[in-house]
Structure 1
């Protein structure tokens, strides 16, 4: 079970999307260095790390879904690997709009970019390719997809909505419903584009639509850029150029939503940990082997390494973990959920844990959109409005049904 939050992993073929999916989930996505390795979107469950209140309240924790380790809770979220896009996909090139349509269900996009410059725009092996081009053209393809759909429909829809005196926001909301778009998203995009005050009859020029679409993408499809293959020879130079470029945000990208990753390193570390060759917590900055593990009990559980595996682990330690602090893949998931603006909610049956409880607490954790009210949260959890009687949080504080759920008041007992 996931929280209902969906991350779409996008990018050109052979950028490392399938490896990224394997690195953050238990999925076994097909991996290959040739175009269209992925035909159907692979899916899996990734885990969003957050601070669990069990540590603060000193109570045992046994999550129903995911897990909790040393006060860090790993909450399941759904992630899909959308088959590789190529330039011209919005006009049907490659596998065309089929890929773009897969994005409709996503809350956030993760754009996996080959930072090494060893694959061209089509995903073929090359040398010296500039990964900045991938960031630009992928954003452009999604923009053309939305803009083209909106422009084709606009004339007839405008006439119909003028007849019933609809607002600009209502009209655009009707147009964009196929993208899973709430009216509030449309309104925020209008505000960002500074087009909120225009009357409907003054709307409809290409410049206005284009301006709106660019802001709509920022709100509806916030994007984390995962600069992948950071341990390759030319990656450092390319990463520096990309960071310089996005000191000033553009193309829907800023330095705040760029993460450096090595998906294959994470896959290998998880594999070695699963096979009991190393002790490694997903996303951490270090691992221990039989030779380096200080705990004698843990040491006995580990197998000794062959020379090849030891050498690869040493390279990962030097080129990835020591240099960058981690493989970056867990940071991508964390940043993606944060960009989506979700708040963790811990529904509990009793608030008596505050006085010390031996029973497992905080078994459930759900992610709700920022702005969700207590009543809306109850409706989602109880699956029925008629069952809702009230809600309270730690300290016996009663929560009004129209109160917005926020961190700090997100441990809730519904009655």
Structure 2
């Protein structure tokens, strides 16, 4: 229930900083190297998406005990899976490099973070160079993913049209069947087809129309955040300005993955107290009467000089390393809503860790999820024995009501059948424990 089914895919050419990005954003330790195919198999890790926890709004911070992730003074960190796909090269959609394998790995991702070496010090194949234009990387990577989908459709298009006519399907049904291998469904296909507004029947689509359909599909299925990495290198400034001017700033984030790795490492080793997503950190000399657990170590001169360089080149110049902002923007693309299922909407208990624990569970659900669908997501039996649901103020919710930020603290009431089953299960467990204890006691008596 804690870790959702959402996956952030990290993509890009070799040596752009993808593995460093994964290491800076997650608990993974991905292999880092300055040569193509450093990452042969995809690396996985868990990153954290920060939201405001309702425990702060209702003054319950001391009782908030998340089952997954953590809550720090009302800041809730929700775990999300991150996937680092091995470096792509131009021609991947035609099988260049290990392209087909890498592109197939993307099927499990819901949103992409494209890590770009904005310094221009690596060419399209990830080899060291000077003066390379990173705009090329943004363009060709999108083209490779587009061609991957387009070519898969095009090579069987005649058969698709023939089947479409024979079954008398509509375009959404046919496309859903053909695109299901990319982890899509009819709802998603319906959304991008509505936005596209095509009037031409599917059997009359030409190549140009098919390219438009694929482009609309990718925008919906694989929304992409561009992480302009290595912002602290000399040539980065002019390239950042050029890229932002061409693509806008809505889905572009300036990042230094290595700086974030360095700051988190110092924090873990207790040399600094780093406030992730900001430019701020505390040193030992900043502390006043810290507890033994919170007391920081004193930095040596070499590490202090490195830290000051990170401040000058990244934190003071850009405000933060950009890594946390990338995660925030990526999750925002998914249009998901955090929902807190509770046992009681008056005291927010969730039946875990004792009666005082609140808001133990939090799920990220897609926008447009209904209350009854949410019950099904939690557990099939909640849906089977569903009676009604309520939110703050004991307000009843309709089964078809959409979950929003205004009703995302939800208590689902079920019939007595499910409660009786749970009580019987507990009773059986207690009887088994009593039986085992009795056997152990008899065994001890025999030994005596």
TM-score between both structures, scaled by the size of structure 2? 0.88
In 1, Cα distance between equivalents of 2:288 and 2:368: 47
In 1, Cα distance between equivalents of 2:213 and 2:288: 58
Deviation (angstroms), 1:360: 2.2
1:232-280 CA-to-partner distances (Å, cap 9, x unmatched) read 1111111011111123xxxxxxx21111111111111111111111111
1:137: which partner in 2?
140
**Contact 2:391/2:411 (8 A) holds in 1:** yes
2:223: which partner in 1?
222
In 1, Cα distance between equivalents of 2:294 and 2:371: 50
Q: In the alignment, which of 84, 87, 104 is matched to residue 84 of structure 1?
A: 87
Aligned to 2:174, what secondary structure does the other structure show?
Answer: helix
In 2, Cα distance between equivalents of 1:168 and 1:278: 57
Q: Give the number of the structure whose alpha-carbon radius of gyration is greater.
A: 2
Matched, 1:93 2:96: yes
Deviation (angstroms), 1:211: 0.7
2:168: which partner in 1?
165
In 2, Cα distance between equivalents of 1:325 and 1:90: 38
- Please give the residue correspondences for 1:197-208 in structure 2 after superposition, counting only pairs within 5 Å: 197-203=199-205, 205-208=206-209
In 2, Cα distance between equivalents of 1:97 and 1:122: 16
Matched, 1:369 2:358: no
**Contact 2:88/2:97 (8 A) holds in 1:** yes
In 1, Cα distance between equivalents of 2:241 and 2:289: 40
Deviation (angstroms), 1:200: 3.2
1:65: which partner in 2?
68
Deviation (angstroms), 1:121: 0.5
TM-score between both structures, scaled by the size of structure 1? 0.94
1:342: which partner in 2?
336
In 2, Cα distance between equivalents of 1:231 and 1:278: 21
**Contact 1:354/1:394 (8 A) holds in 2:** no
Aligned to 1:302, what secondary structure does the other structure show?
Answer: coil
**Contact 2:342/2:348 (8 A) holds in 1:** no
1:299–1:414 Cα change, 3 Å = closer
**Contact 2:45/2:81 (8 A) holds in 1:** yes
Q: Which has the higher contact order (CA 8 A, sep 6+)?
A: 1
Aligned to 1:389, what secondary structure does the other structure show?
Answer: strand
1:252: which partner in 2?
none
Matched, 1:190 2:188: no
RMSD over aligned Cα, in angstroms?
A: 1.7
2:7: which partner in 1?
6
1:373-392 CA-to-partner distances (Å, cap 9, x unmatched) read 11111001023321322111
In 1, Cα distance between equivalents of 2:315 and 2:208: 46
**Contact 1:48/1:74 (8 A) holds in 2:** yes
Q: Structure 1: 5+ residue runs without aligned partners?
A: 248-254
**Contact 2:389/2:410 (8 A) holds in 1:** yes
In 1, Cα distance between equivalents of 2:388 and 2:172: 34
1:363–1:300 Cα change, 3 Å = closer
Aligned to 2:141, what secondary structure does the other structure show?
Answer: helix
**Contact 1:14/1:35 (8 A) holds in 2:** yes
In 2, Cα distance between equivalents of 1:152 and 1:129: 35
- Please give the residue correspondences for 1:150-161 in structure 2 after superposition, counting only pairs within 5 Å: 150-161=153-164
1:260: which partner in 2?
254
Q: Structure 2: 5+ residue runs without aligned partners?
A: 414-448
Deviation (angstroms), 1:294: 4.2
**Contact 1:18/1:30 (8 A) holds in 2:** yes
Deviation (angstroms), 1:304: 1.1
**Contact 1:382/1:388 (8 A) holds in 2:** no
2:408: which partner in 1?
410
Deviation (angstroms), 1:316: 1.0
2:114: which partner in 1?
111
1:14-53 CA-to-partner distances (Å, cap 9, x unmatched) read 1111011111111010011111100000001000001110
Aligned to 2:228, what secondary structure does the other structure show?
Answer: strand
Aligned to 1:123, what secondary structure does the other structure show?
Answer: coil
In 2, Cα distance between equivalents of 1:293 and 1:153: 66
In 2, Cα distance between equivalents of 1:108 and 1:22: 18
1:386: which partner in 2?
384
Aligned to 2:67, what secondary structure does the other structure show?
Answer: coil
In 1, Cα distance between equivalents of 2:285 and 2:310: 17
How many equivalent pairs are there? Answer: 405
Deviation (angstroms), 1:300: 7.1
In 2, Cα distance between equivalents of 1:350 and 1:258: 42
In 2, Cα distance between equivalents of 1:354 and 1:179: 39
